[in-house]
Structure 1
Amino acid sequence: MVTEHAYAEAERAAIYRAIAERRDMRHFSGGEVDPQTLQRLLAAAHQAPSVGLMQPWRFIRVRSPALRQDIHRLVEEERVRTAQALGERSDTFMKLKVEGVLECAELLVVSLMEGRDAHVFGRRTLPEMDLASLACAVQNLWLAARGEGLGMGWVSLFDPDRLGQLLAVPPGARPVAVLCLGPVTDFYSEPMLSLEGWAKARPLDELVFEDRWGGTP
């Protein structure tokens, strides 16, 4: 049923298309993101919902080539450690392209703010809702970027304490995302890890329960 508050059919289709075609991109073609577009994307991220309206996200735009190289070095060190932790799948993992830090047009680091313990609204029993709020902001940016024809990848292979030191993040704040953003030659037809045979997405009907865990609708 379409209610009186629904968008027009073409507008609804565009929203679902962006969701379906969003990809965690690792391959970038250089270029640039013009300032107006970057501002629109950050504004979209900033409009995300947040628990208690705490807006826990902080965005650091990395413009220094030397700093970008330092971040790439941190990611590479963690990539090697992750491979070691994967055991028998280590060789396969090392063949995957897991980031585009040096190739992307824009590099953003997203951090949780300091002083989060002072925010109790919605976090007394679920303190991790600050992270959930930040993830909503990243998803907003991701979908907006896809609509703008730009690729984005979320890199999580890094030591947050070392990255925080590198970026002068204050005590109590915590970097959680390195975002690679920019033009791409093509978007993956399906998630890259599926294309590479690393993993397959599970169908929705396996993940929807009724009344209790495992309950069949």
Structure 2
Amino acid sequence: MSEHDSPHRYAGAEREAIYKVIAERRDMRHFRPDPVDEATLSRVLETAYQAPSVGLMQPWRLIRITTVALRDAIHAMVDRERRKTAMALDERQEEFMRLKVEGIRQCGELWVMALADGREEHVFGRRTMPEMDLASTACAIQNLWLAARAEGLGLGWVSLFEPLELAKLLKMPADARPVAVLCIGHVDAFYPVPMLVQERWTEPRPLAEMVFSDYWGEGAAAVTGALSE
């Protein structure tokens, strides 16, 4: 350990495992229908509970979808929005329709992540930025994603749905709101690169374009140089 290293730093293999799971996380669309072991699922769900949240408000709620009828209804809802999205894409409409955008009927587990009701009571950290409840929920989803990948499970975040329609279907309180349909399950393989890159839909922007020094748009911070080489 060099004089600049923190005494709290994890050992080499532990650090490498963390960076590896982050780098190899994928938004999965292709699943096998095999059931997910309950003990494994419990470990993965615990990581959402451990996610950071502003003011410790823990605004996330998870709904496990266990009936075929609800799966079918959610799939139909997503398919309707998929077609509307395609129409809004104009010249890329046909290309978009060829993409697989969900695995709702194939995955072993289907969950809906939602924002809880009563969120207006939480002011700590949200007085000027009320959207921090959504940011906190995204942190919980990221934890699920990384834990699932570490367990060898795929996770796909589906956002093609009309929130009020899904909330009504799942009998949510009036001020609760669905954020994501989460497909979780076994996969034959993880995509070697993000699926949208693999399908040539888009390419990620370089890190250096996203990091500024002092003022918006001014010179990338020097630390990005080594990372983007």
TM range (shorter): over 0.9
Distance 1:126 1:120 in 2: 9
The question of 1:178 aligning with 2:181 is answered: yes
1:109 aligned partner: 112
1:206 aligned partner: 209
Determine which of 162, 169, 173 is the counterpart of 2:172: 169
Q: TM-score, normalised by structure 2?
A: 0.94
AA aligned opposite 1:115: G
Question: Does 1 or 2 have the higher relative contact order (CA < 8 Å, sep 6+)?
Answer: 1
AA aligned opposite 1:135: A
2:36 aligned partner: 33
How do residues 63-142 of structure 1 correspond to structure 2 at under 5 angstroms?
63-142=66-145
Distance 1:6 1:61 in 2: 37
Distance 2:144 2:13 in 1: 21
Flag the structure with larger Rg: 2
The question of 1:155 aligning with 2:158 is answered: yes
- Listed one character per residue, the Cα deviations across residues 138-193 of structure 1 (whole Å, up to 9, x for unaligned) are 00000000000000000000011110111111110000100000000000011100
1:18 aligned partner: 21
Give how far 1:87 is off. 1.0
AA aligned opposite 1:193: L
2:224 aligned partner: none
Give how far 1:30 is off. 1.4
- Listed one character per residue, the Cα deviations across residues 110-135 of structure 1 (whole Å, up to 9, x for unaligned) are 00000111111111111100000000
Determine which of 141, 144, 148 is the counterpart of 2:147: 144
Distance 1:172 1:123 in 2: 17
AA aligned opposite 1:102: R
Structure 1 residue ranges (4+ consecutive) displaced by more than 6 angstroms after TM superposition: none
Q: TM-score, normalised by structure 1?
A: 0.99
AA aligned opposite 1:67: L
Give the percent of matched residue pairs that are identical in Structure 1 and Structure 2.
Answer: 62
What is the Cα-based RMSD across aligned positions, in Å? 0.7
1:197 aligned partner: 200
Give how far 1:2 is off. 2.6
1:62 aligned partner: 65
How many residues align structurally?
217
